Amino acid sequence: MSDSASPEIAVIGGSGFYEFLDDPREVDVDTPYGKPSAAIAVGRVGGRQVAFLPRHGKRHQFPPHAINYRANMWALRALGVRRILAPCAVGGLRDDVAPGDIVVPDQLVDRTYRRVQTYVDSGAAHVPFADPYCPDLAGTFAVNEGEVRTGGTMVVIEGPRFSTRAESRHYAAQGWSLINMTGHPEAVLARELSMCFVAIAVVTDMDAGVSAQEAVTQAQVFAAFAQNIEKLKGILERVIGDLPPRGECGCASWAEGIDLPFELPDHRHTVEHRSA
Q: How far is CA 252 from the centre of its chain?
A: 17
Closest alpha carbon to 57 in 71, 42, 43, 44: 71
- Dihedrals φ, ψ of 195, to 5°? -105, 150
Q: How many CA atoms lie within 13 A of 26 on its CB side?
A: 12
For the chain, what's the residue count? 276
Cα(67)–Cα(71) distance, integer angstroms: 9
Which residue intervals of 98-154 are DSSP H helices? 135-140
List active site positions.
205, 207
User: Mapping DSSP to helix (H, G, I), strand (E, B) and coil, where does residue 196 land?
Assistant: strand
